[in-house]
Structure 1
Amino acid sequence: MNERKELQRARMLRYFLDAASEVIEEEGLAHMTIRKVADRAGYTASTAYNYFKDLSHLKFFASMRFTSEYISELPDYMALGENTVEKWLYSWECFCKHSFEQPDIYSVIFMDNLGTSTQQLFDDYYAIHENDLIGFPEQIQSILMEHDFSKRSALYIQSAVEGGFIKQENVDILADMTLMIWKGMMNTYMNHRRSYTKDEAIKRTLHLVTECVMNVVEPSRRKEIKFDRY
């Protein structure tokens, strides 16, 4: 695709995403349709399908727009930690805060079946919104651009291995277990399977994640982990 066509495509995507954001803010994600977004953007639904494979594709791109506060706050949360493990736990606090505030948004991004390569959707989104990542350390950029949340965690936990906090063989299982904790709590919270308030869901998730982490931290290093935000 030549540069001119790429610029035109990016411009059209922004028109539709601006319209989609307005629909979500006014009516909620569950009430968003391709037709509503196209009408608001001043185009036909058939034109929208030239840029989005289906409604789930459009929902994903639009939902990513609502993660800007999480992304902007993440470095500040991580800065509260005095070591790699604490930084990762603070990053979990930031993620839980925003995901349980906007469960519909975060479930689309990290839980729903989108019927296509989610990594490609992440890459496409950040190709258009590359300025969203300006100023972030390279390590955080690589984490934010990884669609698989378990892999996101593993990327960061690797630093804890290098720092002597966690053994290499525990990286993947820790990443998977903490992701399953969040998904399980998010599903429970969204479907009202228990009477958790938002704050209770956040604290319970952080407690379980922290317990899971502490079980694999080397005994000689556990006293260095002072995270207690739950």
Structure 2
Amino acid sequence: MKKKIQRARMWRYFLDAAAEIIEEEGIDNITIRKIADRAGYTSSTAYNYFKDLSHLVFFAAMRFTTTYIEELPAYMEKGNNTVEKWLYSWECFCKHSFEQPEIYAILFMDNLGAIPEDLLEDYYSIYEDDLIGLPEQIKSIIMEQNFSKRSALYIENAVEEEFIDREDIDYIADVTLMVWKGMMSTFMNHRRNYSKEQAVERTICYVYESVMRTIKPDKRVKINYRFLGN
């Protein structure tokens, strides 16, 4: 128990320091030495608790998803069925990810040299309060770090509602993931002159079109999703 308390305390010191540097200098300027100096420890001490700088940055980046997690239930409540709720959850995700592209790229695109699910489980073992108040279904989506699995995990309920066939779940999850990654890469690398609002709207449009192709013809009239915008 004492070791767990000590570990949680040290994590907070380093993650607080990392989050402050991200806010002040940007995520591209973060180093293990800067983090350790600000936390009041040496770099070697930091490595006793984090195997790699990318892991520490990953955990620090999680701090910046709080607003997304808090807003997600309200977005999903706007839907009247699983497909609509799934689309509104995508809108919430896109809104926040394009507002903070560097943060979300680290969490969902970068090579961490480790299994993201394990890192996320470690994070919430320390910051379990971040999940208090979330419905169990949303907790399971948050804890499933693999993006396409997160998507499939929720929309599979649409099979029972007879909106889609089970064999389409993986297609929907994979295609929409590629849509978001493609737009995020385009947006971050300035390959198109998109504002964040345009990037969100275009991504949602492509996600919507992708899922509608799989909706059973007699069920399409029951999808009344309306893009809310920012």
TM range (shorter): over 0.9
- The equivalent of 1:115 in structure 2 is 113
Whichever residue aligns with residue 110 of structure 1, its letter is: F
Residue correspondence of structure 1 range 1-230 to structure 2 within 5 A: 3-229=1-227
Whichever residue aligns with residue 4 of structure 1, its letter is: K
CA offsets 1:152-184 (integer angstroms, 9 cap, x no match): 011001111111111000001110000000000
CA offsets 1:172-207 (integer angstroms, 9 cap, x no match): 111000000000000000000111111000000000
Percent identity between the two aligned chains = 65
Q: Which runs of 5+ in 2 are unaligned?
A: none
Q: Which runs of 5+ in 1 are unaligned?
A: none
Q: Calculate the TM-score normalised by the size of structure 2.
A: 0.98
Secondary structure in 1 aligned to 2:49?
coil
Deviates more, 1:124-133 or 1:98-107: 124-133
Q: 4+ residue stretches of structure 1 with deviation over 2 A?
A: none
Residue-pair matches, total: 228
Whichever residue aligns with residue 43 of structure 1, its letter is: Y
CA deviation after TM superposition for structure 1 residue 228, in Å: 2.6
**Equivalent-residue separation in structure 1 for 2:81 and 2:140 (angstroms):** 19
**Equivalent-residue separation in structure 1 for 2:145 and 2:204 (angstroms):** 21
Report the RMSD for the aligned CA atoms in angstroms: 0.7
CA deviation after TM superposition for structure 1 residue 227, in Å: 1.2
Secondary structure in 1 aligned to 2:155?
helix
CA offsets 1:35-72 (integer angstroms, 9 cap, x no match): 10111111111100111111101110000010000000
CA offsets 1:123-151 (integer angstroms, 9 cap, x no match): 10111111111111111101000010100
**Equivalent-residue separation in structure 1 for 2:59 and 2:72 (angstroms):** 20
**Equivalent-residue separation in structure 2 for 1:8 and 1:136 (angstroms):** 27
**Equivalent-residue separation in structure 1 for 2:127 and 2:25 (angstroms):** 24
**Equivalent-residue separation in structure 2 for 1:73 and 1:93 (angstroms):** 11
**Equivalent-residue separation in structure 1 for 2:26 and 2:10 (angstroms):** 22
**Equivalent-residue separation in structure 2 for 1:12 and 1:43 (angstroms):** 10
Secondary structure in 2 aligned to 1:49?
helix
